[in-house]
Amino acid sequence: MTDDALRSLVVANKAIEAHNMVSFELIDPDGAELPAFSAGSHIDVTIQDGIVRQYSLCNSRSDRHRYRIGVWKDPNGRGGSRALHETVNVGDTMQVGPPRNRFRVPRNTRRVLLLARGIGVTPMLSIADDLKSQSIPFELHYVFALMSPDAFRGTIDGSNFAADTKYYLEDSRQNQLLDAAAVLAGQPEDTDLFICGADWWLDPIVKTATEKGFSEQRIHVERFTAKLGAAALDKVFDVKIASTGAVFKIPGDKTIAGFLEENGLKIPTSCEQGLCGTCKVKVLEGEVDHRDKRLSPQQRTEGFFLACVSRAKGDMLLLDL
């Protein structure tokens, strides 16, 4: 089996972490070791009918016989998380891809500040375990989402990083009991900030961190949802394919990746939210309306865009396909 191959793993345990969160423990059906992963990694999980979603690995990277993921049932989601909650049980099989990491702790990090809200705690569990094992100083500040009190608390309280963790409650979006500005203000200059949660929660904190002098390189963000534009209101534009000269008129309520696939031209996708980078394509002509949360300024300057969310500013994009 190549490293990129999907593998069938069996659900060895399914636990309710909160009324809207479950965790799954996945093992090889023959008990074999699984591909190693680094702290902060995620796996692609194929749910059904080709629906693929990404979930952070939340166990210790020293565990070689299991992957553990946490799944929040998103009431406004596209059905993937609900399907996992309602239809997958112990003994069932899941198709998963190899671990990948876009939330990696730098090798030379001196100290780390971990901020998480809700299901955003899942990658932090693996990262905190890893930092502890390497004796790298860190703090984990974890805000329980209003609807998910005490989620994963048993895991943390039983871990080797329980004493490094502070818990917070929230009454509403306006009444966070975590004073992020105060926490950020107290950090030494060489601190790496890792933050994971919903956009509305983390964006203001990232802004504060920037204002307090955290450089872009020291702010590491993992998002679970992206802000998607109101597609129905979007303008229509043309996409031209460089290799064939074919031109497609992209409707205002369709994404480029989605519309091209309907017309027989498949761009690989995974998250379909501008988060993972799977659908990256080079634009040869035309100005892009970037709507992703993934590409660096450098990648945009080099002409790349993410076809699952981004669109044209003008009338046409020429794609290197």
Residues lying near ligand FES in the complex (CB under 6 A) are found at 269-272, 274-279, 292, 294, 306, 308
Task: Quickly count: other Cβ atoms within 10 Å of residue 185's Cβ.
Answer: 11
The residue whose Cβ lies closest to ligand FES is: 308
Q: Which is nearer to ligand FES, 141 or 290 (CB)?
A: 290
* Rounded Cα–Cα distance for residues 149 and 153 (Å): 9
Nearest CB to ligand FES, comparing residues 176 and 270? 270
Where are any strands of DSSP class E within the chain?
Answer: 7-18, 21-27, 42-48, 51-56, 67-72, 93-96, 111-117, 138-143, 165-168, 191-197, 219-223, 237-241, 247-250, 280-285, 288-289, 304-306, 311-312, 316-319
Q: Which is nearer to ligand FES, 70 or 274 (CB)?
A: 274
Least distance (Å) between residue 278 CB and ligand FES: 4
**The two structure tokens encoding residue 241:** 């394919």
- Give the Cβ contact number of residue 208 at 10 Å: 15
CB atoms within 10 A of CB 48: 12
Q: Which is nearer to ligand FES, 170 or 272 (CB)?
A: 272
Between 164 and 261, whose beta carbon lies closer to ligand FES?
261
Instruction: Give min distance, CB of 52 to ligand FES, in A.
Output: 9
Q: How far is the CB of 69 from ligand FES (least distance, A)?
A: 18
* CB 211, min distance to ligand FES, A: 28
Six token digits for residue 57? 């690995």
Residue count of the chain, please give it: 321
- Shortest Cβ 131–ligand FES spacing (Å): 28
